Amino acid sequence: MENHEHSHSVSENNEKKTLAVIIFTIIMMCVEIAYGYITHSMALLADGYHMGTHALALGLTYIAYILTRKFANSEIFLNGPDKIGTLAGYTSSIFLGLTGIWIIIEALERFFNPLKIDFNDAILVAIIGLVVNAVCIFIMEGKHSHNHEHQEKEHKEDYNYKAAYYHILADALTSLLAIGALLIGKSFHIVFLDSIVGILGGILILSWTINLLIGTVKILLDMKDCK
């Protein structure tokens, strides 16, 4: 009973942190889009709409928490509603994978058909994106339990939360890599480096996607070695 209550507490904390990240992401999305229109910056506009896709993925995570809580005592599910979160994590991981594929395709297109890059504008957007994602990661990594070791174990088993976390981590990674590539490109006029970094980032995101898919599919299909 104590373990169940602790698990419920961890899930409730994850739900609250997810909501906080959603609100912060939407605010920054609106600021970037508005400023993009005011300054006619396509880079800011694109990043603002890109943040909207993350808000959508995080929204899916939050809805799963609400449904799991709503059907906690329902007899509709034979083994309880816990797999709602796992299903949401599975769906979110597919979106994450599509993001990785899109990044690779876009990077390849830019590599073979390079476009003129406004380095100052692009670097500003990348820095804003990195700061926003750093704050989101800080929120999602927040410690709310004296029994941190046990909570960390529960956190890893919450694929709904883990998928949302990887969305933010993937965005932070692409922003960080982009900053490095753009700074080098601006200093040494190496335009293609941005594309190479994009391809590497997309491949890493796809590796995270595969791990998430394997974990969630095992649970959804009640395969062995799953809790």
| Res. 8 pLDDT band, cuts 50 70 90 | low
Flag whether pLDDT at 147 surpasses 50. no
Domain positions in the chain are 2-220
pLDDT band at 70 (very low <50, low <70, confident <90, very high): confident
**Residue bearing the bigger pLDDT, 6 or 223:** 223
Dihedral over alpha carbons 201, 205, 211, 214 (to 10 degrees): -140
The answer, yes or no, to whether residue 155 has pLDDT greater than 60, is no
Distances (CA, A) of 78 to 74, 83, 222: 9, 11, 13
Residue 150: its pLDDT value, please?
A: 45
The CATH class of the 2-220 domain is mainly alpha
Mean pLDDT of 58-68: 91
Read off the pLDDT of residues 88-105 as tens digits, 9 standing for 90 and up.
Answer: 999 999 988 998 898 899
Which of the given ranges, 92-96, 174-178, 186-190, 221-225, has the highest pLDDT on average?
A: 92-96
What confidence category does residue 146 fall into, taking pLDDT thresholds of 50, 70 and 90? very low
Q: pLDDT averaged over the chain?
A: 81
Mean pLDDT of 49-72: 87
Angstrom distance (rounded) from CA 84 to CA 87: 5
Whether the per-residue pLDDT at 62 is higher than 90: the answer is yes
Residues 6+ apart with CB under 8 A from 78: none
The two three-digit tokens of residue 220, written as one number: 């959804």
Mean pLDDT on 114-120? 77
Tell me if residue 37 falls in helix, strand or coil. Answer: helix
